[in-house]
Every structure is written in structure tokens, then in C-alpha cells.
Chains A and B, each alone.
Chain A
Amino acid sequence: MFNRLFSLAVNTFKESIRDRVLVALVVIAVVVMASAKIVQPVAMGEAEKIIKDLGLSAITLFCVLIAILVGGRLVYREVEKRTIYLILARPVRRLEFILGKYLGLMMVLVVSLVVMTAGFYGVMLISRVPVSLYLIWSVVMTLFELAILTAVAVLFSTFVSPIASAVFTFMIYFIGHSTPLLKQLAGMFPSPVIKFFALFAYYILPNLNNFNIKGEVVHNIPLNFPGLLLSAGYAVVYSATLLMISVVIFNRRDF
């Protein structure tokens, strides 16, 4: 089982690495980070914070784009191009197929994060900004957020087209970052129906705010590590649940 999982993950990794979209996104991310150097003269004192903030934001944004764009066609493309026949006719469980695809994309995201972070530190060194390893914590939390988003994208890609999947995943990303709003919304409306749906959405959609600690790390505010650990655990459980749902959907399908 683990051999097969590993082979499938490595294959997905190769697929993405040999894809121009991925390479382009990583390159653009680094370019964006470097562009912070241009705004430097505008505000001398703020330069450090702008570079750090922009860098971390770019890392998150572009990795989220990779998760959504590459993840959204991960399974769909195999079905559409019929490459899946040759995999599923072999002694491979559909569960292994989904997990393999997911883990492969996570491998891609880890590598992208590492490359972008290296680029980020490069930009900081060139800009003579004091370099701090504390910033890495933000990247680590981004990885957990990506774990959830990739699972969302994979779930969608088992039954809708890549474009629809990208749109839906992006919506979930967007709402996931405004879940407190949903709770407020639930409190604001007297209508029980709206209240119900707002609360339902609040509990069922991933709460992605917990993974955003850019403000803290940029401003050197102490982190709540037990809280972060909890968020990491949440990410693992949430992703696993989504993947199981994907497998259930996938198991019922004909090809």
C-alpha cells in the first residue's frame, strides 16, 4: 500500500513539476517579493515591515493559487484524459489514488514553499533588512492552511470541472478567512433560517484565520504555540475528513 501511495505521489509531483503553470507561479512570486525593494524609498522606517509583509503575503497567495489551480484539475484531468484507466485497472485502491494525488501535490507545495521562502530571505538579505528566523512560523502555518485548501480542491476535482473547482475553492478560501463575520451575521439577523445557515456555514467551513500569523511574526509579537498546535491538528483532521468524502464519491463512480 505504501509503495503504491509513494509511486502515485511521486508521479503527481513529476506531473506538476513538469507543468509550466507551476514554474511560472513560483517565479512570479519571487519577482513580486523582490518588487518590495522598489517601494523601499517611500517609507524608510516602514521598509522592513513592508518587505516582510509583502514577502509572506506573496508566499501565501501564490501557494494558494498553486493549490487551487493545480489541485482543481488533479483528479479531473486523469478522468478526462483517461490516464486513470491504466491506474485503476491495476491493483490500486481508489483511496490510494486520491491520497497519492493529494500527497503528491502537498510535496509540490512544500517544495514551492521552500523555494519561495529562500527567495524571500534572499530579498531580505539584498535589501539589508535584519533577517529573522521567527518569520518561518508563518510559512509553517501556511503549509497547514494549504493542506486544507488542497483537500477542498481535490474534493471538487472529483466531480466538477477544473474551472468550477477553482472558483468554488477560491470562494471557500475567501469565506474561510471571514468566518467571524458569519457568526456576527448569525447574531445580527432575527430570521432563524438565516441564523441557521450562517451558523451552519460557520461550523462546516474551514476557519482559515487561525493560520494567518503574519502580523504577529512581522511585529515580533509572541506566538500562542499551544493554539497553533491545535490549529495544525484541526487542519489534519479537516483535510482527512474531506479526503474521505472524496474517496466515497470517487468509489461510486464509473469511468
Chain B
Amino acid sequence: MSFSQRPVIEAVRLTKVYRTGFRMRRIQALVDLNLNVEKGEIFGFLGPNGAGKTTAIKVFVGLVTPDSGTAYVLGRSPKDHRVKRRIGFLPESPYFYDYLTAEEFLLLSAQLSGIPRNEIKPRVKEMLKMVRMDYAAHLQMRGFSRGMLQRIGIAQALLYDPDVVILDEPMGGLDPVGRKEFRDIIISLKERGKTVFFSTHILADVEIICDRVGIIIAGRMVKSGRLDEILTAEVESIEVTIKGATGKFRKALERVSLRVIESGDLIMLTVKNEDDVERVLAIAREASARVTAIVPRTKTLEDYFMSQLKTAGVQ
């Protein structure tokens, strides 16, 4: 373990309880949450609805004070202005001043971030272009669609050229082209040495771009690590599809398989390992049936996510 560099985002046993309603019912949103995000990483924060992702993110941007535990961003308190100046934040389904035009809003954001006055205008123009919203610069945001708002949200988060980018469900409301563009933006941020932390429920997004992921369920971090560690590339099972096996051969095949699915004269067998594949192939040769496909199944993030959800008793 190296002490030369502290993580960019660090959560130590964060706990947060909300009290709501007339009877002050307790809702435990975060339970002893630990988390480290290293410099230059793209970190995916995964969890089902109500898991506490947004709450944790609000702690990291200084909007919520934890009941206990500490959060550090860039080694300091998230409420420190020197830190806030270096964070770009996109809230969950962001709302904007709908009476402002897109450009007015970005100008305001830039002024509040302390961008030098002469750099503000060109920077805003550049951001609008980056998220392909320059055509709507002078329209009031009250007429914007969800995806358009999301784009403006991304623009305002990256306005100051932040070192740390914290995004709460950034892909929400984006169309497939928008998602692709967004992924490209994230990757280019990483290439420039920035640290990106984002929450999502969409596993595919995480699998494509994240270096590491953390899985939060019911306020607890149940697992975090490199994707290839969580999803050991080990083959879980192998599917073999065979055409034209009948009678006793079929019986023999069923005996070596974990699962059998039949459709017409096709049978799809799921077997445990390569030895079993060899057995299946031997039987097939004997039956002079044709093997049409052999597909190894590795564990996907989705499988992992589901199994974690099951063990946590959430469903």
C-alpha cells in the first residue's frame, strides 16, 4: 500500500440516517460505507433504487453532512472551497432555472465557479459545442427535453475543467447516440488525467468504461474492486448445441448435462466443464449427430449484481 498519494475520493465509515414524516421515521441511507477512488480512475457506483448512491454523492459534494464517518475529496473536507473549485458535479435528473437560457445558465455557473472573467464566454461556447447544444444556446430551458437538460448538466459539470468529476446517473435520458458521445467524453477526461466517479443502474455502461466498480446495496458497500477481479474470467459453464440426436443417445446426453433445452431436433445442453464437453462430443459422434455450436459462458456483471442482490435479500 502506498502512502505517497491519498485517494481522490475517500469515504471512511459514512453513516447517514434520514428522518422523515410526522413521526420522524428513521431511514438508514448509508451504513458504514467505505470507498476509495484513486487518481485517474473511472469508478462506477452501482446499486438498485434507494441503495444510497445519491446520498453518498451528496456527501462527496458537500450537500449532505454525514451523521458519522468522514469523507475526503482531494484529501480535504468536501465543504472546503478549495475542493469545490476542483469538482464538477452533475446531480440526478438535474433541474435548472427554467427562466434562463442555456447560455445564461452556463454564464452564471461560470461566474459562481470563479472562472476568470475574460475566459468565461469562450469557455461557455466551447462547452455548449461539446455537448452539441450550441443550437439551443439562446432558448429558455423551460422547453428542454430530459436529454437536452442532461446535456446542459454535463456541460455545467465540466465548465471549470475540474480534476474530479462526480456524476449522478449521467446517462439518464440520453439516447443511444448521446450515450456513446458521453462515454467518449468520459474516456477523454481519463486520458487527461481526471478522476471520474459516476453512479448508474446500467451495467453495460459500467462494463465498457469503468476501471473499478463499487456495489452498494441498502446503504452498504458490498463489493468494490477491478471489474476483472469481480468477474473472474473463469468459465462458469459451456453450452453445446446438437442437431439430430435421438433415443438412447439423448438419454446419455441428459445424464452428463446440467440443463437441457429442446427445440425441434435441436438440443441445447449446458455442461459444467471441458471434460463434460468431451463426453458430449463423444456421444454425439457415436449418434452421428451434428454439433452446431459450443459457447463458453463467463460471468457477467449482471449475473454478479443479481447474485449480490439475492444474498442481500433485496428483490
Q: Which residues does A use to contact B, with CB under 8 Å?
A: 3-4, 7-8, 11, 14-15, 18-19, 81-83, 85-93, 254-255
Contacts A85-B91, A87-B112 known; A255 to B64 CB distance under 8 Å? Answer: yes
Interface residues of B in 73-89 (CB under 8 A from A): 81, 84-85, 87, 89
Contacts A7-B108, A89-B89 known; A254 to B113 CB distance under 8 Å? Answer: no
Q: Enumerate 14 A-B pairs (CB-CB under 8 Å) in ascending A order.
A: A11-B100, A14-B99, A14-B100, A14-B104, A19-B99, A82-B94, A83-B95, A83-B97, A86-B91, A86-B94, A88-B62, A89-B61, A89-B89, A90-B109
B68 on interface, CB distance cutoff 8 Å: no
B156 on interface, CB distance cutoff 8 Å: yes
The bracket for how many chain B residues form the interface is: 20 to 34
- Within 8 Å CB of A90, what residues of B? 84, 109, 112-113
Roughly how many angstroms separate A19 CA and B97 CA in the complex, as a whole number?
Answer: 12
**B239 CB, min distance to chain A CBs, angstroms:** 47
CB pair A82 B112 closer than 8 Å = no
- Within 8 Å CB of A82, what residues of B? 91, 94-95
CB pair B94 A11 closer than 8 Å = no
CB pair B96 A83 closer than 8 Å = yes
Roughly how many angstroms separate A141 CA and B61 CA in the complex, as a whole number?
Answer: 43
CB pair A91 B97 closer than 8 Å = no
**B21 CB, min distance to chain A CBs, angstroms:** 16
B123 on interface, CB distance cutoff 8 Å: no
Roughly how many angstroms separate A5 CA and B97 CA in the complex, as a whole number?
Answer: 17
Q: Which residues does B use to contact A, with CB under 8 Å?
A: 58, 61-65, 81, 84-85, 87, 89, 91, 94-97, 99-100, 104, 108-109, 111-114, 156
- Within 8 Å CB of B84, what residues of A? 89-91
Chain B residue with Cβ nearest A90: B112
Residue from the set A82, A86, A254, A255 with the largest chain B CB neighbour count within 10 Å: A86
**A249 CB, min distance to chain B CBs, angstroms:** 14
Chain B residue with Cβ nearest A6: B111
Give which listed residue, B62, B95, B99, B108, contacts A89 with CB less than 8 A: B62
Contacts A18-B99, A91-B85, A91-B113 known; A85 to B63 CB distance under 8 Å? Answer: yes
**B151 CB, min distance to chain A CBs, angstroms:** 14
CB pair B112 A92 closer than 8 Å = yes
CB pair B91 A7 closer than 8 Å = no
Roughly how many angstroms separate A93 CA and B63 CA in the complex, as a whole number?
Answer: 12
Residue from the set A19, A81, A254 with the largest chain B CB neighbour count within 10 Å: A254
- Within 8 Å CB of A92, what residues of B? 112
Roughly how many angstroms separate A89 CA and B87 CA in the complex, as a whole number?
Answer: 8
Roughly how many angstroms separate A236 CA and B20 CA in the complex, as a whole number?
Answer: 37
CB pair B113 A86 closer than 8 Å = no
CB pair A86 B109 closer than 8 Å = yes
Roughly how many angstroms separate A15 CA and B87 CA in the complex, as a whole number?
Answer: 27
- Within 8 Å CB of A87, what residues of B? 112
Give the 4 A-B CB pairs with smallest separation, nearest first. A7-B111, A91-B81, A18-B99, A89-B89
